[in-house]
Each structure stands twice: as C-alpha cells, then as structure tokens.
Chains A and B, each alone.
Chain A
Amino acid sequence: MYDGLFVIRFSVKGNGSSGKHCPARYLILAFVNLKKKEVQVKVVYYGPGRGGKTTNLEYIYKRFNKRIKTEMVTIKTHGDRTLFFDFLPFDIGKIKGYDVKIQLYTVPGQVKYDSTRRLVLRGVDAIVFVADSMKVRREKNILALKNLQKNLLSYKKSIFKIPLVLQYNKRDLADQGIPVLPFEILEKDLNSQLKAPSFEASAMSGENVVQTMKQIISMTMRSLQRDLK
C-alpha cells in the first residue's frame, strides 16, 4: 500500500486499547517518513490548569534523562505556569526497522488560553488527559474534558476515536488529609462514555506516570506495528 510513498500521514483502523471495557478506536496514525525510516508521533497531555501535566513530563525527563538526548523545552510564565507548551522528544527505538520518535507536548490548562491549546492540538495523534483528583476541582475536570472534545472537533477528530488515556493525578494528597474524589466518581464523571484506560497517579512522586505513558504509546504503536509490516 505504501510502495513509493515516502512521507505520509495515514489512518488505520484498530482496537487501540488493552482495557477490557474499551471499544475499538479508530487510530489516526502519525507522521511516517519512509525515506528516513522514521515515525514521529505527537502525544498531547491535556487537562485543567495546575493539574500536573508539566509535572508528568518533568518526571519522565528526570527518569529517562540518559535516553533523552535533548533538553526539555518549556515556555512558562514567571509564575511557573505553562504559557504555551512543554515539549519532550523521546526516542523509543526501532519498530520494524523504523526509528520511532515520540513527541510529548503539554498545553496550558487555564481557561483563557484556549486558542493556544488549539494550536498545540494541531496534528495530535494521541491524548493523555490529566485530571485533578482534588474534590474542589471536580467541575474543572469536566469542563476541561468538554473543551478537549470541542477542540479536537475543530480538527475533525473525535474524542471517542483518538487513542486516549485518563490519568487521575494527585492521589497522594489523600494522605495529607486533603479531600480527593474517589476513583469511582472520577470514572463516572469523566470516563462513563469514553471507557478509556485510566490510572490513579501521582506526578509528584512518579506513581503511575511511566505506566500512563507506556499505555498511550502502546495504544498508538500496536496498530503502527501492524501497518509497517
């Protein structure tokens, strides 16, 4: 099918998730450069402001800094909040002879930066939605997820079809007596229709941060592997 084509964006159909309740997802797969034998995959971490998207990337960068050859790029305000995006390129080695470059991005979570979020979503291949487990942020999570759905639609992508993983962050706060939402409530609020794989995590301590990333990469890679045969 790809004979003679050397740069291509293509779509493939596949069961993009390992969760037993997960429906088949239609994967929109990345940027494949058959000439350079290279695949570039864009994964965007999305979610409400101060939810821990940047902290996820910082943990991954710290944990894998021997394998990540370049600096993590961040564009922050003076108050240390993401103004535009963070960017972390991550080579995961070869699949079927292709160098696979995962490109992790975050968006600014604050409501007012919607046009920036839309810009970063351009050409997105997969999404990690980082929700804030704190009780006081319940509404913000739901609004951010609706915002994601709306912004994906502006690129004619469906939140139900793109590879998606949910991460319920800040689970560790419960130990400090801060009220956090039970897992079941978060699932009901955010995942009752999506039925995407979900993780309870703490980006600060690193709990389930790598697992979240591995899940989204494997969802994206599974069909890629099949397609590069």
Chain B
Amino acid sequence: MEYSLGQEELDVIEEVLQEDLLDLGVNCVFLIDMAGNVIANLDNGQMEHDIYSLAALAAGNFGAVSEMAKIIGEDEFSLLFHKGEKESIHFSKVMADFLLVTIFGKETSLGFLRLKVAEAVGKIRKILEP
C-alpha cells in the first residue's frame, strides 16, 4: 500500500469534506487508510475526540467486518453505521485502501448523510485514483 498525494490534492480533499459534510452539520469527518493512518481530518471546532485512536479502531473494525463479509459469501460491506444516543458514526469505504469516517449528531438525518457521503466519496475517489 504505497501512495502519495500532493498538497493540491489534499487541499481539494479537505474542501470536499468541508463543503459536502461539515457544512451539512456533521461534527467531525476524517479520511484514513486501512493501516489506521490519518490522511485528513476536519471538525466543527467543538470536538475533542482522539482521532488517532479512532482511526486505529476504525481500520481494525472495518477489517474485521470485511472478514465477516467473506464468511457469508459477500466481497465486502462497503458501509457501516453505528448508532449512539448523542452521536453516531458512519464509515464508507473509498476504493480498496481508504475509509471515510463521519461522526454526526441527532440533528443530521442518516438518509441525507448517506447521500452526501456517497457524493463526497465519488469526488475523493477521483482524486485518489492513480
């Protein structure tokens, strides 16, 4: 898993995350690779989550779920969602090696979020594709 991104590409990724997700009202969004490295992270300024631990767990969680998918004969589960009382987490795979993680509160509707995440993933995919 070797990849490189230029500053311009990173700026565009942050722009996409800002416009498509943060401006929608999500609390925090980050793009990681499947090794658990944080590539880009943005939040609404009120979050104090430990992004590095979250990234490690998110990558591990996604890996575990992918193994479950294989056992039941699926290639993969491309998105995951964990619902909490105040905050929820949405994970969406971006190509084989990346994961977009969004943390959002009750005021954001899951349907709309999924729509916007899909849009953002489409844009990010174009940037990450070699």
Chain B residues in 8 Å Cβ range of A8: 3-5
Contact check, A71 vs B53: say whether CB atoms are below 8 A apart: yes
Q: In this assembly, does B64 line the interface, its C-beta being within 8 Å of a C-beta of chain A?
A: yes
Chain B residues in 8 Å Cβ range of A45: none
Contact check, A123 vs B37: say whether CB atoms are below 8 A apart: yes
> Could you tell me how many residues of chain B have their Cβ less than 8 Å away from some Cβ of chain A?
26
Q: Do A31 and B56 form a contact, CB below 8 Å, given A4-B6, A9-B1, A119-B64?
A: no
> Could you tell me how many residues of chain A have their Cβ less than 8 Å away from some Cβ of chain B?
33
Contact check, A87 vs B56: say whether CB atoms are below 8 A apart: yes
A-B contact count (CB 8 A): 83
Chain B residues in 8 Å Cβ range of A154: none
Measured CA separation A101–B64 after assembly (Å): 25
Q: In this assembly, does B33 line the interface, its C-beta being within 8 Å of a C-beta of chain A?
A: yes
Measured CA separation A116–B64 after assembly (Å): 7
Contact check, B53 vs A87: say whether CB atoms are below 8 A apart: yes
Chain A residues in 8 Å Cβ range of B129: none
Q: Do A103 and B56 form a contact, CB below 8 Å, given A7-B4, A70-B50, A123-B33?
A: yes
Contact check, A73 vs B10: say whether CB atoms are below 8 A apart: no
Q: Do A105 and B56 form a contact, CB below 8 Å, given A6-B10, A122-B35, A123-B34?
A: yes
Contact with B along A114-141 (1 / 0, CB 8 A): 0110011011100000000000000000
Q: Considering only CB atoms, which chain B residue lies closest to A118 in the complex?
A: B63
Contact of A5 among B5, B37, B59 (CB under 8 A): B5
Contact check, B34 vs A122: say whether CB atoms are below 8 A apart: yes
Measured CA separation A156–B18 after assembly (Å): 36
Chain B residues in 8 Å Cβ range of A89: 50, 52-53, 56
Within 8 A of A (CB), among B1-44: 1-7, 9-10, 33-39
Measured CA separation A34–B7 after assembly (Å): 9
Q: In this assembly, does B80 line the interface, its C-beta being within 8 Å of a C-beta of chain A?
A: no
Contact check, B35 vs A6: say whether CB atoms are below 8 A apart: no
Q: In this assembly, does B60 line the interface, its C-beta being within 8 Å of a C-beta of chain A?
A: yes
Q: Considering only CB atoms, which chain B residue lies closest to A84 in the complex?
A: B60
Contact check, B36 vs A42: say whether CB atoms are below 8 A apart: yes
Q: In this assembly, does B57 line the interface, its C-beta being within 8 Å of a C-beta of chain A?
A: yes
Chain B residues in 8 Å Cβ range of A116: 64
Q: In this assembly, does B67 line the interface, its C-beta being within 8 Å of a C-beta of chain A?
A: yes
State the 9 A-B residue pairs at the shortest beta-carbon distance, nearest first.
A123-B35, A119-B63, A8-B4, A31-B37, A7-B5, A6-B7, A70-B50, A87-B56, A89-B52
Seen from chain A, the residues whose Cβ lies within 8 Å of a Cβ on chain B are: 4-11, 31, 33-35, 40, 42, 70-71, 73, 75, 84-85, 87, 89, 101, 103, 105, 115-116, 119-120, 122-124, 155
Supplied contacts A31-B37, A89-B53, 7 more A-B pairs, CB within 8 Å: A6-B7, A6-B9, A40-B37, A89-B50, A105-B56, A119-B60, A119-B64
Seen from chain B, the residues whose Cβ lies within 8 Å of a Cβ on chain A are: 1-7, 9-10, 33-39, 50, 52-53, 56-57, 59-60, 63-64, 67
